[in-house]
Amino acid sequence: MSRPPVLLLGDTGDAGFAALRTRHFAAAVPDAVVVDHREDVSARARALRPRAIVTAGNHGPTRAAMVALAALSGPPAPPPLDAGAARPESSPPLWLDVAGDPFAEAQAAAAYAENPAAVAAEAVSVWAAALARADAFSVVSAPGRHALLGALGVLGRLPLFRPGAEPIHVVPCAAEFPDPLAAPRPAGHGVLLLGGFNTWLDEGAMLAGLLLAMDEAPVQVTVAGGEIAGHHTLGFDRFRAGALASRHAGRFRFVGWAPHGELPTLAAAHHVTVMVDRPGPEPELGARTRVLYGLHLGLRVLATARSPIVAEAVAAGVVEALPEGAAAPAALAAALLAPRPAPPAPRRDAWLAGRSVAVTTAPLRAWAAEPTHAPAAPHSAALAAMSAERDALRAELAAVRASPTFRALDRANRVLRRK
């Protein structure tokens, strides 16, 4: 009889960190069945009866994992009073990918929100049950491990693990991409901006620095990426509006979210890429895939260095550091006005080779071969029950709102309000 597969919940799209992380995790677990977190994960989980569940990426896959576990385990029993709650035999072990701290991400998002408390409540509702239940964890850096240790302590789980045997594994973002490694680019003024304008990207400082450089040199900017639908659109909207209203509007080109297959051709006409983070804890705990990909594309990379992986790249001499905050625009402009070639191939290639899928995912490969349960938080069943009930109510509300009756009543209500 064949062995049950691993259910890998991630993002099967063609752009963004979660999609790349999903491809890397799938390569590490050859018998994984990859399911997009937006699919009917309950049905897929019941059909597969996996030996383990693995997530790749943060918010969506985490929610999907809890839905899948609920489908496989049935309604959670009342929580026992003793530590280390037992699970139903049918419940498979869960590897939870904490690829950037979810609460630091919520903090960055709350800065733009009309109701910051609602952002905080959403983060807690998604992550409390998952952190209380998961059997193993991956983080992208050592600081991420420290943050997770604190979260597990608050949930009452840390005392349940033998010191030194906590199931938290540092799995940095791998530097492997669908396209071949490109030759380093020569010095020049062509700037290619990659990826999403998320809540922790300082688009204002980037734009100010680019405009200062354009005053003195023939800097041209292409933006391949943009707004993140359903998450954050304001940052990109402000950057685009500011660029097109500026004195150098004709030097900006916006191509949108280009598929990975088109990016090497696009990069071949450029020389440098830029990333400026806002101050705050998210960069300290998150990954910076666009920095790795910029190096892979052969570009000179200018980036703020609060993120551990960027700091490592700066120390290795393959990325040039920029300051955060008020000093960023002038520093960015000065760097662009002193064009240099990308780092030489031997130095860059050696640094990227240490971040291959084979190297970074070794802990996941070992665990997926023999997945095991770990002691859950004493109140994990109660948290799981609350999470499952909340998701069920959300699904029911979405169905009601999609019904013809609701839509008709909503249109009538809008008409009456106008009158």
Beta bridge partners of 10: 36
**Interstrand relation of 168-170 and 190-196 (parallel, antiparallel or unpaired):** unpaired
Name the DSSP letter for residue 291: H
Specify whether the CB–CB gap between 206 and 332 falls below 8 A. yes
SS (H, E, C) 60-118: HHHHHHHHHHHHHHCCCCCCCCCCCECCCCCCCCEEEEECCCHHHHHHHHHCCCCCHHH
User: Which residues does 19 contact at the CB level (< 8 Å), separation at least 6?
Assistant: 10, 11, 12, 13
How many CB atoms are located within 10 Å of the residue 281 CB?
17
- Sign of the alpha-carbon torsion through 125, 131, 133, 136: positive
Q: Tokens standing for 303?
A: 């980036």
Name the DSSP letter for residue 409: H
CA distance 293 to 296: 5
pLDDT in tens, the chain (419 residues): 578 999 999 999 887 788 999 999 999 999 999 999 999 999 999 999 999 999 999 889 999 999 999 999 854 444 444 444 545 446 899 999 999 999 999 999 998 888 889 889 888 888 999 999 999 999 999 999 999 999 999 999 999 999 999 999 999 999 999 889 999 999 999 999 999 899 999 999 999 999 999 999 999 999 998 888 777 889 999 999 999 999 999 999 999 988 777 899 999 999 999 999 999 999 999 989 999 999 999 999 999 999 999 999 999 999 999 999 999 999 999 999 999 999 999 999 999 999 999 999 999 999 999 999 999 887 656 566 656 666 666 666 667 777 788 777 767 666 666 55
Q: In the chain, what are the domains?
A: 6-174+358-402 (3.40.50), 190-355 (3.40.50.2000)
Specify whether the CB–CB gap between 362 and 170 falls below 8 A. no
Q: How much is the pTM? A: 0.84
CA distance 78 to 76: 7
